[in-house]
Structure 1
Amino acid sequence: MTSLVIAEHDNASIRPATLNTVTAASQCGGEVHVLVAGKDAAAAAQAASQIAGVTKVIHVDGDHFAHGLAENMAAQVISIASAYSHILFPATASGKNIAPRVAALLDVGQISDITKVDAADTFERPIYAGNAIAIVQSLDAIKVITVRTTGFDAAASTGGAAAIETLAGVADSGKSSFLGSEIAKSDRPELTAAKIIVSGGRALGSSEKFNEVLIPLADKLGAALGASRAAVDAGYAPNDWQVGQTGKIVAPQLYVAVGISGAIQHLAGMKDSKVIVAINKDGEAPIFSVADYGLEADLFTAVPELIAAL
């Protein structure tokens, strides 16, 4: 058995989600290969070769792979898929875009969002917003899997010495083209990779209060900023800050929930955090059921006091 991990990268370095996916692949048994398809991505391929546990890196270069368009990526994966028993993607926007195409072209079922590998053909994944765990067995010859990165520790990014094999890429499918992107600039850590996250909820009352209360705390902690769906829907925070079942799944070392009641939709996105701190004036709020430390207090008083203490 050999597993293939589809690397996420920026053509120069490997993104953290790939490291978690390599760990999942290694638990499937056998060797782990990594596909790095991009434009002038030799540096990313070299970085992938140093990941602990990786035995081979397949490097494919071409202009049409520069932005990871799903149609071209899927075609490239299909061209080498027959050599693998497992094909794994991070359960990110990119992975969720490419994996279903690969599964459909191979005529196999996709196994989505796994959090544990029980055996080479048996996996665990959360359902019902994380309230139940489904154990899924696949009899398909090639298993196409997306990996919830918070469920697996990251493989070491150094220490490996995998061979790099360069392949000629498949031709441009011509089905899609990259027009442009608008990238938000921030001095803060990326939400899904942050070790500390400060999140706010609807109780903050306005976008002005959201920023006034939470930004100083995040600055003190060196944290990323997040928000509940209610806060995002109310316009207090941008969409890409949303944590939850329909937002981003996070598992930082420290998660500070300020004015968040703890609706099931939100808990599904952050309950795997190592330490959860909740500040809420409602002592019956569901967030306290998952919090390691809870403070029943008015956030507009408690947070400034916490900042002063820090």
Structure 2
Amino acid sequence: MSQPILVVAECKGSSIRRVTFEAIAVAQKLLQQRAGAVHCFLAGPGEGAELQQAARELLTYGASEVHLASSSEQTESNALASLKPLQSLVQQLQPQFVIAGHTAYGRELAPRLAASLASGYIADATAVELLDDGFAFTRPLYAGKAFETRSFTGAAPHIVTIRPNNHETAAPLEAVAAANESAINTLPASASPLRSIVREVVSRVSSGIDLTEADIIVAGGRGVRGSEGFQLLQQLADQLGGAVGASRAACDAGYCDYSLQIGQTGKVVTPQLYIACGISGAIQHLAGMSQSRTIIAINKDPEAPIFSIADYGIVGDLFEIVPLLTDELKKLGRQA
């Protein structure tokens, strides 16, 4: 009897987060050795058209069925409200794996689900390897200084969270031009024992690319010297089509909002390109960005620790270098 794989989908506003498409791709990889189907669990408020549209989009990306949990309590800021309907769905489907993003939502929901089911749990997987007798998941340890490979033993379901921006995304299926409405199921309402209720969400950053999903990040540290310096970084990020981040030192100094913080106590990012401007490279910050594909460091101090992990280093004043880079990119854009 084949067992499906259940993906916990996640939306930000009305858009499906990219990590969900990465999770679907991981599920498809896990199904290469056996028959099975990908199911998606999606929670959201009410019975709005946006939730139905998101469900149809999931079907076009390879989900065989989408199971909706809709109520006023279901929000991206309240993962606990999703626990009861997700438990019921897992007991109904009996999946081999439950895969979620290693996001604020997934980090709160997945371990609770694993504990309630007495299931194995592997968190923050950055790679998946197919073995002759199963699967192995790689995850970082000690702020990225070491890696371990783990496999599951015991009965399913196995719970996994994957680090965003570390896996390929599923491709839309051309054959699915119009999603089959019969493949969208609404789960029965079930009251969750909430310990807190989200009354309001105030977003400090109303637009722009999510840091955890950005392919290019321009980050500033204490060396940026103020909010004006972050405006220079924003101009460079705009030219590159990227996002702006910050070290904790810059956030503590009041140069920018804490929503931009990258590091051990902030967001963990793995972009294709990370440009560190005026960041010394404290170990707490390196824990959040050291796995970036290519790192460029700009710092006046040639002995700054950030240069030890940088692929390219520029010793100089960021207030001279960043505007030059921005101007050159503008010229290239005009030529193109």
- CA deviation string 1:148-188 (max 9, x = no partner): 12221121245474752414324222524331110224443
Gaps of 5+ in 2: 330-336
- CA displacement 1:73-127 (0-9 Å, x = unmatched): 1111110213111111100111111112111110223211011122445311100
Counterpart CA distance in 2 for 1:290 and 1:93 is 27
* CA shift for structure 1 position 201: 1.1
Q: 2:317 aligns with which of 280, 298, 302?
A: 298
Cα 1:56/1:187, change in 2 over 3 Å:
closer
The letter of the residue matching 2:300 is: K
**1:19 to 1:217, Cα distance in 2 relative to 1, 3 A:** same
TM superposition score normalised by structure 2: 0.83
Deviates more, 1:143-152 or 1:274-283: 274-283
1:204-229 deviation line (CA, Å, top 9, x unaligned): 23x23433542332343343110112
**1:153 maps onto 2:173 in alignment:** no
In the alignment, is residue 65 of structure 1 matched against residue 74 of structure 2?
yes
| More off after superposition, 265-274 vs 81-90 | 265-274
Q: Is the 8 A contact 1:79 1:170 kept in 2?
A: no
The aligned residue for residue 135 of structure 1 is 149
* Cα displacement (A) at 1:66: 4.7
Q: Deviations over 1:212-262 (max 9, x none)?
A: 542332343343110112222232221110112322122333221111122
- 1:34/1:56 contact within 8 Å kept: yes
Following superposition of structure 1 onto structure 2, how do residues 109-258 of structure 1 map, counting pairs within 5 Å?
109-119=120-130, 120-141=134-155, 142-159=157-174, 161=176, 164-175=183-194, 176-205=196-225, 207-258=226-277
Superposition deviation, residue 11 in structure 1:
7.1
Distance 2:13 2:317 in 1: 47
**Aligned equivalents of 1:59 and 1:168: distance in 2?**
6
Query: Which whole-Å CA distance do the structure 2 matches of 1:178 and 1:305 have between them?
Result: 45
Partner of 2:288: 269
- 1:272 and 1:67 map into 2 onto residues whose CA distance is 26
SS of 2:73's equivalent in the other structure is helix
Q: Percent identity?
A: 40
The unaligned stretches of length 5 or more in structure 1 are none
Give distance in 2, aligned partners of 1:68 and 1:238.
19
Distance 1:160 1:180 in 2: 40
CA contact (8 A) 2:204 2:259 kept: no
In structure 1, how many angstroms separate the alpha carbons of the residues matched to 2:118 and 2:175? 34
Q: Is the 8 A contact 2:263 2:286 kept in 1?
A: yes
Partner in structure 2 of residue 284 of structure 1:
303
Distance, in Å, in 2 between the alignment partners of 1:13 and 1:202 is 34
Letter in 1 for 2:164: T
Q: SS of the residue aligned with 1:150?
A: coil
- Give the drift of 1:292: 2.9
Native 8 Å contact 1:282 1:296 kept in 2: yes
Structure 1 residues 304 and 77: CA distance shift in structure 2, 3 A: same
TM-score (norm 1): 0.89
| Shift, 1:299, TM fit | 1.7
Q: 2:109 is matched with which residue: 87, 98, 116?
A: 98
Seen in structure 2, the aligned counterparts of structure 1 residues 37 and 304 have a Cα distance that, compared at 3 Å, is: closer
Aligned-residue RMSD, C-alpha: 2.4
The answer to whether 1:4 aligns with 2:6 is: yes
Please give the alpha-carbon distance, in whole angstroms, between the structure 1 residues aligned to 2:325 and 2:78. Answer: 45
**How many pairs does the alignment contain?**
308
Matched, 1:21 2:27: no
For residues 236 and 2 of structure 1, what CA distance do their matches in structure 2 show? 48
- Give me the whole-angstrom Cα distance separating, in 1, the residues matched to 2:292 and 2:87: 36
1:84 corresponding residue in structure 2: 95
In structure 1, C-alpha distance between the alignment counterparts of 2:175 and 2:14, rounded to whole Å: 18
